[in-house]
């Protein structure tokens, strides 16, 4: 599929897989919002740390082992380029 993005727009795509969330942004519009939190359902284990593109970040994570939920807050990830949040 070919998607043409003009200078006054940006498309942000999210890909989730076990233990990580990848975001890719394409276009010329600067997105003013930040990714602040991620909720993951079906996780198998409590995260030991959270990284952003390989660098450990200071964030807070909550673990609910009854439903395998991880809530990661305090991220402040700019929605541009390509970034990977891993836990």
Report yes or no on 5 lying in a domain: no
Report yes or no on 4 lying in a domain: no
What is the spatial distance between Cα 14 and Cα 43, in angstroms, rounded to a whole number?
18
Phi and psi at 22, nearest 5°, equal: -105, 135
Report yes or no on 68 lying in a domain: yes
Instruction: Provide the residue count of the chain.
Output: 87
Report yes or no on 2 lying in a domain: no
CATH of the domain at 51: 2.60.40.1180
Nearest residue to 84 via CA among 45, 35, 43, 51? 51
Report yes or no on 39 lying in a domain: yes
Report yes or no on 3 lying in a domain: no
Q: Domain tally for the chain? A: 1
Q: List the chain pLDDT tens, one digit each, 87 residues.
A: 556 666 689 999 999 998 999 999 998 888 899 999 999 998 888 888 999 999 998 888 899 999 999 999 999 999 999 999 998
The parent domain of residue 25 ranges over 10-86
What pTM did the predictor assign?
Answer: 0.80
* HEC secondary structure over 13-51: EEEEECCEEEEEEEECCCCCCEEEEEEECCCCCCCCCCE
Report yes or no on 1 lying in a domain: no
């Amino acid at each position: 599929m070919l998607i043409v993005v003009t200078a006054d727009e940006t498309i942000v795509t999210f890909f989730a897989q076990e233990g990580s969330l990848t975001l890719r942004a394409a276009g010329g519009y600067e997105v003013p919002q930040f990714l602040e939190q991620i909720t993951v359902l079906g996780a198998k284990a409590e995260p030991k740390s959270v990284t952003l593109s390989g660098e450990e970040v200071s964030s807070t994570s909550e673990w609910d082992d009854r439903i395998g939920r991880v809530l990661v807050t305090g991220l402040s990830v700019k929605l541009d380029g390509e970034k990977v949040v891993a836990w």
